[in-house]
């Protein structure tokens, strides 16, 4: 029995079983939660088993979906190490989050709906990972989008949640248009959408380099939308209105990872497209930097984590852009682990404090919630890139690769941005840690703080262990990860950073933590210093407003779009309707005139007949 023939079952388990909670959940324990957990367990087991099966890779299988004359649109499955890693990661993280949800979401109304949507969400993500043709990818890509819409708007009676869901849907849809256009251009040029042929030799399928760049950039626009990179990032902070478990899933292994995965999956296409990778690197580095600055001033625990996600995804994009393919995938894996852990910890805090998200109203949690706080600390250390947590290993390689990129191209901007971001990252996450967990509470508590039950701590502890383990997959001494994940010989091999680079990155991160330590618990540096200068206040406002991206989008919508709509409205009502109504009115007038001929008197008709005959006779005689 070849297990590969059954790989397609990995996404199918949760997708097929997903209606069960919705249909029968009301009569089941936990609203049908065990169905969801069981289906994800099956997916996890199957995708983990794939790791250990000796097999020829890549495995590719299709079936015709739409046939039209000589051309076919195929649905397919494509298994190589990259898709295997992605599906296993998604299945495993989703499973942990679902277990955690048993308690976290336990008393929510509409729980069956939650399970069904989560199952479709993670199932679609695994389908996206294992898709064998780009059209299959696109289908699952859209399913992921629609599930994120449903889940962010889970509390749809709350106006903010409904608005956030709508925003996430619309903003990512802007990116999806780019993906769709790229897909059509690709099909028109290459006449195929199957991954193996596109990955093996993209430059012979699409001859023109300009067209290749157009396709690559279109795909990247789709990735920008999903992965919340500049300038389509605005949905991500607002998406925090959804349940924290949903945020954990969106921010680790599903939704946002989809964009990075898409670029990685089609990396050979980017490699043969001039300028495409430069754009990817620049957008990634800028997103990483700007997101980390926005996180500096936020007091919303979940928003800080959201900005950190955007920032870390920026690292991955920058890594892909500078040619650190393996390192980016490594960071994707590590980030999924520590970011879901951070969100689970934040969720536990929210659970205990009745949904409070403002870090100024938390404080002093470390004593009462040991496991939760330790999970956040581990996550913060991993996020900052401190040895020996997994974030250190991957971030280190990416920044090293950015430096090498600077050496070869003379463009050190990416390196500078990623290095500065490392400092800022360490600062903002430890700022949140100190204020929310370590410092004594500043306000009276309405709820009694206690550790969350075991069903919530076990997933956190599992992830804590993993943050200490997965980093060792790629060290200067032993590199298991990179040869595993490079699915083609044409992909660039990332070199280990030199010791000086590693140490400087580590020092940068430690400096960030030290500054946070000296500002918040120690108050050696007073945060009020910023408020005293007008420049400080200006920067602070700029960051709090998120560089006015939202404001300018709204202004754009109000000004340009409304104006354009008014013009179209005028054209429709006055010009098009005017022509139609004018023709009708003219016909009516003419009819009213002409009907006067019809007198209804027989004698008049007889006279007309006689007159007619006379006229004909005259014509005959004269003619």
Partner 1 sequence: MIGFYQVVALSATLFSVGVYGVLTSRNAVRMLMSIELILNSANIDFVAYSAFTGVAQGLALAMIGIGVAAAEAAIGIAIVLVVDKLFKTIDLDKIKELRG
User: How big is the site for partner 1, counted in residues (CB under 8 A)?
Assistant: 13
Close Cβ partners of 524 (under 8 Å, ≥ 6 residues apart): 518
Q: Does 493 bind partner 1 (CB under 8 A)?
A: no
CB of 557 to partner 1, least distance (A): 56
Cβ–Cβ < 8 Å for 272, 212: yes
Q: Does 600 bind partner 1 (CB under 8 A)?
A: yes
Q: Does 618 bind partner 1 (CB under 8 A)?
A: no
Q: Which of 610, 615, 616, 618 binds partner 1 (CB under 8 A)?
A: 610
DSSP conformation letters of 526-560: -THHHHHSHHHHHHHHHHHTGGGHHHHHHHHIIII
Nearest to 419 by CA among 396, 394, 391, 390: 396
CB of 584 to partner 1, least distance (A): 19
Chain centroid to Cα 80, Å, comes to 23
Q: Does 621 bind partner 1 (CB under 8 A)?
A: no
CB of 615 to partner 1, least distance (A): 15
Helix (H) or strand (E) holding 60: strand 59-68
Q: Is the Cβ of residue 468 or residue 607 nearer to partner 1 in the bound state?
A: 607
Cα gap 137→176, rounded to integer Å: 12
Nearest to 22 by CA among 88, 157, 118, 143: 118
Q: Which of 447, 559, 599, 612 binds partner 1 (CB under 8 A)?
A: 599
Cα gap 450→369, rounded to integer Å: 6
Cβ–Cβ < 8 Å for 318, 451: no
CB of 574 to partner 1, least distance (A): 34
Q: Is the Cβ of residue 207 or residue 590 nearer to partner 1 in the bound state?
A: 590
Close Cβ partners of 139 (under 8 Å, ≥ 6 residues apart): 75, 127, 131
Q: Which of 597, 619, 621, 622 binds partner 1 (CB under 8 A)?
A: 597
Q: Does 607 bind partner 1 (CB under 8 A)?
A: yes
| 496-555 binders of partner 1 (CB under 8 A) | none
Phi, psi of 400 (to 5 degrees): -60, -45
Q: Is the Cβ of residue 157 or residue 592 nearer to partner 1 in the bound state?
A: 592
Instruction: Name 474's bridge partners.
Output: 479
Tokens of 434: 């100190």
Query: Of the ranges 9-17, 301-309, 563-571, 597-605, which one interacts with partner 1 (CB under 8 A)?
Result: 597-605
CB of 597 to partner 1, least distance (A): 7
CB of 594 to partner 1, least distance (A): 8
Q: Is the Cβ of residue 561 or residue 599 nearer to partner 1 in the bound state?
A: 599
Q: Does 601 bind partner 1 (CB under 8 A)?
A: yes
Measured CA to CA in angstroms, residue 254 lies from 139, 186, 241, 250 at distances of: 15, 25, 17, 5
CB of 585 to partner 1, least distance (A): 19
Q: Does 450 bind partner 1 (CB under 8 A)?
A: no
Q: Which of 446, 524, 598, 620 binds partner 1 (CB under 8 A)?
A: 598
Helices (H), 59-158: 81-104, 111-130, 134-152
Cα gap 122→88, rounded to integer Å: 11
Q: Is the Cβ of residue 107 or residue 601 nearer to partner 1 in the bound state?
A: 601
| 566-595 binders of partner 1 (CB under 8 A) | 594-595
CB of 614 to partner 1, least distance (A): 10
Interface with partner 1 (CB under 8 A): 594-603, 606-607, 610
């Amino acid at each position: 029995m070849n297990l590969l023939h059954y790989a397609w079952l990995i996404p199918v388990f949760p997708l097929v079983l997903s209606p069960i909670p919705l249909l029968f959940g009301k009569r089941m324990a936990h609203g049908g939660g065990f169905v969801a957990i069981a289906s994800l367990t099956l997916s996890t087991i199957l995708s983990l088993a794939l790791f250990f099966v000796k097999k020829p890779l890549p495995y590719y299988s299709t079936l015709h979906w739409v046939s039209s004359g000589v051309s076919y649109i195929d649905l397919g499955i494509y298994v190589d190490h990259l898709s295997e890693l992605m599906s296993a990661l998604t299945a495993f993280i989703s499973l942990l989050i679902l277990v955690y949800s048993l308690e976290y979401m336990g008393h929510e109304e509409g729980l069956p709906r939650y399970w069904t949507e989560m199952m479709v969400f993670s199932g679609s993500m695994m389908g996206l990972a294992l898709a064998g043709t780009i059209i299959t990818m696109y289908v699952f890509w859209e399913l992921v989008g629609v599930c994120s819409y449903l889940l962010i708007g889970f509390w749809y009676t709350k106006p903010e949640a409904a608005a956030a869901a709508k925003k996430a849907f619309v903003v990512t849809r802007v990116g999806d248009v780019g993906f769709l256009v790229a897909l059509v251009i690709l099909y028109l040029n290459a006449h195929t959408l199957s991954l193996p042929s596109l990955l093996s030799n993209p430059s012979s399928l699409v001859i023109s380099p300009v067209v290749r760049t157009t396709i690559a950039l279109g795909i990247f626009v789709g990735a920008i939308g999903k992965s919340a990179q500049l300038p389509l990032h605005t949905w991500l902070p607002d998406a925090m209105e959804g349940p924290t478990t949903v945020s954990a899933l969106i921010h680790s292994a599903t939704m946002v990872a989809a964009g990075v995965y898409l670029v990685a999956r089609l990396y050979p296409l980017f490699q043969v497209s001039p300028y495409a990778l430069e754009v990817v690197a620049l957008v990634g580095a800028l997103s990483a930097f700007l997101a980390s600055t926005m996180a500096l001033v936020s007091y919303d625990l979940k928003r800080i984590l959201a900005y950190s996600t955007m920032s870390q995804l920026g690292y991955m994009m920058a890594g892909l852009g500078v040619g650190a393919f393996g390192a980016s995938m490594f960071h994707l894996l590590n980030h999924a682990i520590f970011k879901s852990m951070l969100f689970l910890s934040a969720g536990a805090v929210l659970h205990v404090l009745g949904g409070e998200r403002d870090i100024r109203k938390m404080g002093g949690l470390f004593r009462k919630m040991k496991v939760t706080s330790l999970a956040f600390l581990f996550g913060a250390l991993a996020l900052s890139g401190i040895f020996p947590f997994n974030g250190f290993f991957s971030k280190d390689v990416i920044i090293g690769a950015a430096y090498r990129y600077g050496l070869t191209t003379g463009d050190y901007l990416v390196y500078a941005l990623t290095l500065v971001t490392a400092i800022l990252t360490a600062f903002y996450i430890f700022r949140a840690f100190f204020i929310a967990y370590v410092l004594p509470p500043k306000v009276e508590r309405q709820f009694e703080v206690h550790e969350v039950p075991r069903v919530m701590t076990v997933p956190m502890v599992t992830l804590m262990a993993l943050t200490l383990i997965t980093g060792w997959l790629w060290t200067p001494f032993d590199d298991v990860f990179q040869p595993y994940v490079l699915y083609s010989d044409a992909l660039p091999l990332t070199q280990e950073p030199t010791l000086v680079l590693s140490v400087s990155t580590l020092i940068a991160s430690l400096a960030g933590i030290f500054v946070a330590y000296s500002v918040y618990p120690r108050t050696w540096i007073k945060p009020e210093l910023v408020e005293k200068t007008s420049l400080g206040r200006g920067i602070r406002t700029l960051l709090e407003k998120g560089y006015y991206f939202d404001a300018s989008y709204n202004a754009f919508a109000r000004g340009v779009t409304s104006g354009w709509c008014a013009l179209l409205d005028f054209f429709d009502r006055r010009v098009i309707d005017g022509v139609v109504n004018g023709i009708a009115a003219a016909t009516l007038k003419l009819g009213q005139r002409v009907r006067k001929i019809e007198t209804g008197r027989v004698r008049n008709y007889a006279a007309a007949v006689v007159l007619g005959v006379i006229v004909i006779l005259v014509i005959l005689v004269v003619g």
